[in-house]
A and B are shown apart, each in its own frame.
Chain A
Amino acid sequence: MSKFPEFKHDKSHEYFDRAVKVIPSGIYGHLGPAEGLWVPVSKWPFYSEKAQGTYFWDVDGNKYIDYMCAYGPNVLGYNDPDVDAAAMKQMKLGNCTTSPSKVMVECAENLVDTVASADWAFFCKNGSDTTTLAVMSARAHTHKKKIIFLKGYYHGDFQWAQKIDYPGITPEDVANNVVVPWFDLDALQRAYDENNGDIAGLIAQPYDHGNFKDNEVASKEYWQAVRAWCDKNGVVLIFDDVRAGFRLDLAGSDHYYGIKADLICFCKALANGYNMSALCGGEHMKATVSGMTYTGSYWMSAVPFAACIACINKMKALDTPAMFRRMGTQLTDGFKAAAKEHGFDLVVSGEPALFYLRIANDDSLMLHQEWISECVSRGLFLASHHNHFMNAAVTEEDIKLSIEIAEDAFSVVEKRHPELKG
């Protein structure tokens, strides 16, 4: 008998039925059932009603401890009082105005003071806006056209960042993408030589946190060697810190690895859910970026800037990277112990702040999908094949409850698979 009863999702399905009539695929993108890899969909909530701290409630009233954090933005906890107060205060003063608010300057100054490699900040809305600006800037700066990507890359969904076989993408859209394996310096040189040195930039996340595979962390030595290689060959080094930014190191993930990127992209954890992103960079890149034709209707809205300042200040006060490392380790150690108790080999990889999970008893990931779905349908929101995210609202009690639900879900899957006992 399961200790935690399974949730029902009747209202979620009612909303989804309404949604598919008026929204393509009901919920598109990473928050939806297809890209979110909900297996089986019956175990997942589709729509939320409210959120607070590290929890959200679905439209059926089910409560979830959320380790996906809206896929990253929730870094301090949903409805963080300090961030919301700063945002509300700014809202009363003005948000989307003809002359940008002075808070934009204060926000840029805060980022420059916080991020080690930043001498300036350029604000947009989404991660893709910043990775696109970074790639354009690398080309403008070097007058070269090709960009090196590391295998399994994800830098947003704009055409250049997609793959040749994706719907709506032409071969020309991705003709200047050169893909090399992670952690292979010789491959970088080969790619450079094969393209006659026509390489404008190298864009990468801080470490290999691709999906469907154990995440592989980088070393300081690796990034220092890449930095040196970029310097030697005049290649602009772009750190895509959209996902990991501020969770490993408040001074930037490039700082975490002991280097300075030429350009660094931030989004998710920047303003605790208020919509903004930022491209930061060194002084030597500022003139190039100043000359770019690049803007958007809401990019200078003031409310997210106010939220961003409050968010960064609070992350500093709490030392969230240290907190996430400690709590992420505690949580995943608990998951591993619970797995072992029930005969499962749970592999935890990546950084504790962004831990990735995989049950290794089978090579099809079907057991893993069963376990994840049993967790979700009992109130522990995990993702099937994506890294997770820690947030500062998680308490010791939340971790204890999470491990209890995980253990309960393991027991459910274990009973369903007597063959695992051999």
Chain B
Amino acid sequence: MTDARTMAYINMYAVLGTLENLCELDDKAKEIISTLKKPVSLAFEVKDGPAATLTFTAKGCRMEDGVTKCDIKIPVSSCEKFNKIINGEVTPVPTKGLTKVGFLLKTFTALTDRLTELMRPTEEALKDPAFFELSTILTFYTISVALSQIGNQDAIGKASASYIADGDVCFAIKDGPAATIRTKNNHLVTIKKKPENPRAIMQFDNIRLANDLFNGKINSLECIGRGTVEIRGMLSMVDNLNRILDRVALYLA
């Protein structure tokens, strides 16, 4: 079972949050934002749910938690409605920044379409090695952020998080992207960079393996046996993160 509130947090921070990485890593996304003459900030505020502001410039995108100042504001009445917006079933209606609706319709839509193309790839598209790599890296970032959201919001995810000791876990693909999953008092935060002093490490041997694991084609326990998933340090932290990872697949399926 999944719940709408957890899904909304995932959609906000893990899915929309991956726009940061898309704008940094993807040439097509870079081209889309290159036309921006000045920064545009877009805020989503979900009632009884997450709130965040995405700021786009010609050079990139950054997400900040909460809504303070923004050019375009989209209040959403419920987590369920926000999830429908992300799924493309409901059109978002801004209450502020109506003059910038062009950004919403053109630039933002183009970026989210490109993100969808990479995150929900066709088998044909994945045959291109560069596309495959980019798709996997973006999925990695989405998953790494979703881990924290599920650990903080989902009832069963919270049970897993309650067993995680304080400290940083390095979640990484060897010679590729890395993230810090930081736990303090059973609350998880994902930072999209490698930790300096991890208490535990979970590292996938290569991009292909990570992709197969993310898509459920292979099992992590078998990979640990083969040594293609490296685990080290406070393994109880990794063990419990792995249980949350199970639920990531459920939410992002």
Contacts and interface: CB of A to CB of B under 8 A. Distances in A.
B221 A366 contact: no
Given A20-B225, A34-B221, A165 B233 contact: no
B226 A16 contact: yes
A228 B167 CA distance: 40
A97 to B, nearest CB: 39
B235 A20 contact: no
Interface stretch (A25-33, A182-190, A276-284, A315-323): A25-33
A167 B233 contact: no
A212 B225 contact: no
B198 A41 contact: no
B222 A25 contact: yes
Nearest to B244: A165
Contacts of A365: 233-235
Question: What interface size band does chain A fall in?
Answer: 20 to 34
A171 B3 CA distance: 15
Given A163-B159, A364-B198, A211 B236 contact: yes
Given A164-B156, A165-B157, A363-B167, A369 B232 contact: yes
A39 interface: yes
Interface string B221-253: 110111100111111100010011011000000
A97 B167 CA distance: 56
Contacts of B243: 165-167
A23 to B, nearest CB: 10
B116 interface: no
Residue with the highest number of chain A CB atoms closer than 10 Å, among B160, B167, B232, B246: B232
Contact of B225 (A33, A164, A166, A167): A33
Contacts of A33: 224-225
Contact of A26 (B199, B222, B232): B222
Interface of B: 156-157, 159-160, 167, 198-200, 219-222, 224-227, 230-236, 240, 243-244, 246-247
What's the dominant secondary structure at chain A's contact region? loop
A42 interface: yes
A40 interface: yes
Contacts of B157: 165
A366 B234 CA distance: 8
Q: Which 10 A-B pairs have the closest CB atoms?
A: A364-B233, A33-B225, A25-B221, A34-B221, A165-B160, A34-B224, A364-B199, A212-B236, A41-B227, A165-B243
A385 B200 CA distance: 14
A37 interface: yes
12 contacts: A16-B225, A16-B226, A20-B226, A25-B219, A32-B221, A39-B232, A40-B227, A40-B232, A42-B227, A364-B167, A364-B232, A364-B234
B167 A27 contact: no
A174 B225 CA distance: 30
